[in-house]
Chain A
């Protein structure tokens, strides 16, 4: 464990919603780990606890819920022991996060440029000029063309795909070790979805950024990840290499989930024979 390869280790994580009596446990004893530079997928239906798991890593859970047990180790440091101020340094610095709704995840009254730069002003002592230069580099890397021009624009002037690229640029500008992506392609159409997945792969290859990719879409997970965690009702149903899970699912639930996605080979065969 101390070989320095581990990026993230979640041990026996429990999360509860406090607004019911007794509190409702939504994540039940989830454990997993990620190596540096790895892309790990978490797949599950809505309500399976995957988003809560992701949010709990940065302690971003809403006030009506909280971690009731377990440990989150990031680079062998226990994040559970961190104060709010110490966590602020980790958030957006070492661990960045992007979300499902690029339309609403950006502040409507601040320019795109200032939002991308924000991570740098919070986590570095760079000059304003240098911050702008890096923000524009990050925008270009995130596939945004005419970055200089876009820098001045406001979120509502951009398309959904562009906004998600802005979110990615803002997340990557600080060169984090881990990027948590919570359904980042769900709200986008298929072509843009494919482009964003390629972009994430590219970033992972180039910078060795570990990516925890959360999705309800198995097909998307298969394109991006080497290992996957299947979650259902707050528990890990199955975990392993993506191909193994796809080809030889152990659990009934995984089989059902797989059956639910349109299989291209299947449909081709059916068309040919039908």
Chain B
């Protein structure tokens, strides 16, 4: 209970800091919503009039206070450039980015766990060495560049998908998901490579432990030692990495959505920043921050479920 309260406290403080810093950033960068809405042709008087109307001339703390008050009551405000409630704008974009994140994360789990175990079991032998070289390459190339390479190979040469031909979820659910596999893989590759490396070294470290010798002495075969004894212990450091990975996927999806022209939250965030449309940008940033904190909270709970030593301390 105390733990829950502590976590909720952290959540609130983090969201306040994140939103205030983002708010501050909008005030520091040149240009504002009124100018971007009216365009370069508008006169200074017109701009100033709109600024007053939008409340942009008020002190920053007053503006932030007003945003916060509305936010607490569930009102994310209205977009300056789209003239519609921010929530309505986000509502359509969330499923797209969420699906992209889920696909990436699923690919990371699907590939990194078996490969991590596989390489650890063959430490120093040729399959391990070959995979470690590939791993190093996958890790050092950034996600967006993988995106370009994947588009080139699977889109333009092999024609497994049509680059840029995004399929909305309302049109075809299958088409929507299969279009997201390529960008999902682009985000997943570098993180997956890191996951393999972390799990591999974690498994190898566990294999040296005394309890593994006990397990063999009891008559366990190699498979059983790995899956019943070693893996649960070896997953602990990897779990923290996965938690951080989810945050990283969301951040990466902002760029990848540009590469694959996916109309998700990333694309919306970039447009709203260039339009100085702070209600939209702030809505997205706070949403992402909330999501990242929630995932970390989930990781903490999972950690306790796997490791009984932590459960007691809580």
Binding site for B on A (CB under 8 A): 58, 60, 84-85, 88-93, 96-97, 99, 101, 104-110, 118-119, 122-123, 154, 156-157, 167, 170
Q: How many residue-residue contacts, CB under 8 A, span A and B?
A: 74
Residues of B within 8 A of A119 (CB): 218-219
Say yes or no for B214: interface residue by CB 8 A criterion. Answer: yes
Whether B209 sits at the interface, judged by CB under 8 Å, is yes
Q: How far is the CB of B110 from chain A (nearest CB, A)?
A: 24
* Known interface pairs A93-B219, A108-B307; 17 further A-B residue pairs with C-beta atoms within 8 A, sorted by A's residue number: A88-B221, A89-B219, A91-B217, A91-B219, A92-B218, A96-B217, A104-B209, A104-B210, A104-B211, A110-B229, A119-B218, A119-B219, A122-B218, A122-B219, A122-B220, A156-B309, A157-B312
Name the 4 nearest CB pairs between A and B, nearest first. A92-B219, A92-B218, A104-B210, A154-B308
Q: Which residues of B contact A (CB under 8 A)?
A: 209-211, 213-221, 224, 228-229, 232-233, 306-309, 312
Q: Smallest CB–CB gap between B18 and chain A, Å?
A: 35
Residues of A within 8 A of B210 (CB): 99, 101, 104-105
Q: Kindly list chain A residues whose C-beta atoms are within 8 Å of the C-beta of B211.
A: 104-108
Q: Which residues of B contact A109 (CB under 8 A)?
A: 232-233, 306-308
Distance of A155 from chain B, by nearest CB (Å):
9
- CB A89 to nearest CB in B, in angstroms, measures 7
Task: Tell me if A108 and B308 are in contact (CB < 8 A).
Answer: yes
Chain B contact residues: helix, strand, loop or mixed: helix
Kindly list chain B residues whose C-beta atoms are within 8 Å of the C-beta of A107.
Answer: 211, 214-215, 229, 233
Return chain A residues, CB-CB under 8 Å to B312: 156-157
**Chain A neighbourhood of B229, CB < 8 A:** 107, 110
Give B165 Cβ to nearest chain A Cβ, in Å: 48
CB of B216 within 8 A of CB of A91, answer yes
Residue numbers in A under 8 Å from B306 (CB-CB): 109
B217–chain A nearest beta-carbon distance, Å: 4
